[in-house]
Amino acid sequence: MQKIDTFLFDLDGTLVDSVPDLAKALNLMLNDYQLPTFDEQTIRHWVGNGARMLVERGLRGTSDLKSSDKQGEIDKALEKFLFYYRTLKTKSTVLYEGVHSTLNTLHEKGYSLALVTNKPSEFIDPILSSFSLSSLFSITIGGDSLSEKKPSPLPLLHVCKQLGVLPSQCVMVGDSKNDILAAKAANMQSIGLTYGYNYGENIATYNPDWVLNSFSEILKLNPNPQTKESALL
């Protein structure tokens, strides 16, 4: 068993609750098309597969999507959504309890921290900077940074390559099945957080190595599955 020295984190639903801003931007876009708007709770179940998928779910009014032959229309709607999201400047996005102190503790203890999100990369630094977290992360990967995004293991394996670590030395932390599926495909341990979005599903269904109810519980874990009763720090 390799010693764990790297943590990979999702962003939306894991470190921050960004749904208030995402919902506002989506509904402003839908208003432009004179389409029905949706309450924040409904939109929470649509977040996690990137901006384009969120826009398509909004246009169709459902999370159950089949392949679309109207890619040009979706492209235009996505541009509108991103415009509105930029203007909001994530002013209603909030950091989850325990995130700031836990990330700083992990960093101070010498762990490498990486961010792997399906969110467009242009929005990563403004969010991290607004909460004074940018300096903690060795690398950040957005949904448009590589040719594939979660649940593909590619972003996770890319982080491993860039940081010079093995998947067995890493733990993926997220709130969505995409995080857990990507970790399993990369042969990486995972932590599933119950407070995030995950499309209304129980994160435990996807069998992460640990299921936690709060972010700060990460500090109480041992990433070695054979001795999970011991503390990490």
Q: Cα 210 from chain centroid?
A: 17
Q: What is the pLDDT of residues 191-223, one digit of tens each?
A: 999 999 998 899 999 999 999 999 999 999 875
Would you put residue 152 in left (φ > 0), alpha (ψ -120 to 50) or beta? beta
Mean pLDDT, rounded, for 116-120 = 96
Q: Is 153 helix (H, G, I), strand (E, B) or coil?
A: coil
> Which of 34, 139, 36, 144 has its CA nearest to residue 82?
144
DSSP 8-class letter at 3 = P
Query: What is the reported pLDDT for 228?
Result: 46
Active site annotation includes 10: yes
Query: What is the reported pLDDT for 232?
Result: 53
CA distance 22 to 29: 11
> Which of 100, 87, 97, 85 has its CA nearest to residue 130?
100
Mean pLDDT, rounded, for 134-143 = 98
pLDDT band per the 50, 70, 90 thresholds, residue 48: confident
Query: What is the reported pLDDT for 223?
Result: 58
Residue-range domains of the chain with CATH? 6-17+93-227 (3.40.50.1000), 19-88 (1.10.150.240)
Angle CA 188–193–197, to nearest 5: 115
- List the catalytic residue out of 10, 17, 175, 179: 10
